[in-house]
Every structure is written in C-alpha cells, then in structure tokens.
C-alpha cells in the first residue's frame, strides 16, 4: 500500500433545504494509495452524499476535501477534475444505450483528448480484462446486467483514475457477478496504486476492504483498524 494520502476528508458538513437537513456531520478520514475503503451504513445515512462530494458532483457546506494534495474547493472545472482523477461506478450502470460497450468505455478518454485509435485500443483492452472482449461491439441492451456493470467498471477505469468511487456497485448483481466486480476494484488498487472508496450496505463486500468506516445519521460511528 502506498503511504501517500490520495484522499483527505476534513470536518466535512453538508446541509440541504436551507440548513434544515444535515446530511453529513463533521466527517473526517484519510485514504492511501492502493487502499480499498468501504463506507457502510443503512440507506439514507449519507454514503451517497459523501461520494458525491468527493467526486465534485456537489459542494460541501463546510469542511474540506483534498485529493492528491489538491483542495477541491479551488477547482473551478469539476468536469476536468473528474476526467483526470476520478472514476465512478454506480449501482445502475448508466451506459449510453445507443453506443456499443467499446464506445461507452472509450467515451471518458475524449475529454482527455486521447487519439481515437488509442481510445479504441484501450477500450478493447479493458473489456478483455473484464472478460467482455466478445461483447465489445454489442449494445447494452444485448448483454446481461452483470456484463453491463462490468462494462461500467471498465469505463470508470478508462483514464487510469487515482481515485475510484463506487456507490452500491453490486446492489443489482448476483453474488457471482458482484464478487467479480469487487475483484476488479481490488486489482486496480493493488496493481495500479489507485484508491477505491466503496459505499455499500453489503457486509460481505465491505469485509473485503482494507478498512471500513461505518456511518449513521451522517456521522462516523466507527472506523475499523487497517488489515495487516
């Protein structure tokens, strides 16, 4: 595991509805390169809100988030930040239905101005790693739910993100496909030094992480010690 803190969350607060709803309350933690961190807790506890803040899909009310030493409050172009540094995997794959799996995987690389031939080669390589090489030119409607989710993982990894955020990524998958998706996250962390943050209520999935942060009512109630 890399000793460098890729992610540092400090005294994070998020309010909605003019301050009447406190979704996140003074959350602080750090994650290193190569680490898999599971954020656990019941539905509505703040897991998705936390990932949205880290991914700059939303802005905090107070506190700070640093990714690779960069304070996200200073970023004026969230799209460029996500394209360069962050991969997202959601419970629902969000693939574009009119594009093939290969085209979906290649799409994030357009923002980084990767040449077309290189985008195509990288997309095919990632799909092959997901055991989807034979499905590369299929539309999402022609493959199974597990295959669509694995394609979504490939898309999230397309730009080699230092930070991979996954929000209930196995919630709609059977146990076999769910385990395969988690294997891919582990490989990204171990082989490429990426930091993976998983939001899940699945305790079996969380048990495979290096550490677990348990959230209740928008605040941390427990942080497990790191595994040896």
CATH number of the domain at 34-44+77-223, out of 3.40.50.300, 3.40.50.2300, 1.20.1640.10, 3.30.70.260?
3.40.50.300
What's the pLDDT at 100? 96
What's the pLDDT at 81? 83
Both structure tokens of 125: 């390589």
Which pLDDT tens digit goes with each residue over 54-76?
999 899 999 999 998 889 999 98
Q: How far apart are CA 71 and CA 136, in angstroms?
A: 37
| Low-confidence residues of the chain: pLDDT under 50 | none
pTM of the model: 0.87
- Collapsing DSSP to helix, strand or coil, 134 comes out as helix
Residue of 199, 195, 189, 194 lying closest to 167 (CA atoms): 199
- Collapsing DSSP to helix, strand or coil, 198 comes out as strand
Do β-strands 195-200 and 86-90 pair in parallel, antiparallel, or remain unpaired? unpaired
* Residue-range domain boundaries for the chain: 34-44+77-223
What's the pLDDT at 215? 93
213, 39 in Cβ contact below 8 A? yes
The DSSP-derived string for 56-103 is TSS--SEEEEEETTEEGGG-S-HHHHHHHHEEEEESS----TTS-HHH
Question: Residue holding tokens 């993982």?
Answer: 153
Residue of 8, 33, 65 lying closest to 190 (CA atoms): 33
What totals of helices (H) and strands (E) does the chain contain, helices first?
7, 10
What's the pLDDT at 187? 85
Torsion of CA 118, 108, 60, 201, to 10 degrees: -100
């Amino acid at each position: 595991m890399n000793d460098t803190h890729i992610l540092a969350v400090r005294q994070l607060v998020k309010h909605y509805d003019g301050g009447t709803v406190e979704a996140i309350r003074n959350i602080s933690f750090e994650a290193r390169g190569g680490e898999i961190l599971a954020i656990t807790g019941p539905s509505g506890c703040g897991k998705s809100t936390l990932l949205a803040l880290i991914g700059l899909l939303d802005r905090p009310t107070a506190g700070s988030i640093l990714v690779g030493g960069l304070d996200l409050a200073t970023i004026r172009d969230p799209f460029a930040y996500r394209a360069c540094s962050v991969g997202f995997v959601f419970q629902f794959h969000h693939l574009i239905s009119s594009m093939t799996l290969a085209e979906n995987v290649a799409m994030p690389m357009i923002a980084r101005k990767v040449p077309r031939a290189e985008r195509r080669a990288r997309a095919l390589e990632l799909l092959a790693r997901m055991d989807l090489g034979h499905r590369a030119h299929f539309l999402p409607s022609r493959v199974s739910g597990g295959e669509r989710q694995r394609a979504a993982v490939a898309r999230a990894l397309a730009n080699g993100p230092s930070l991979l955020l996954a929000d209930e990524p196995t919630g709609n998958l059977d146990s076999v496909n769910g385990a395969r998706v988690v294997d891919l996250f582990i490989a990204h962390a171990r082989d490429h030094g990426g930091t993976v943050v998983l939001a899940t209520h699945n305790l079996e999935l969380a048990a495979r992480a290096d550490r677990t942060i348990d959230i209740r009512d928008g605040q941390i109630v427990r942080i497990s010690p790191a595994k040896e």
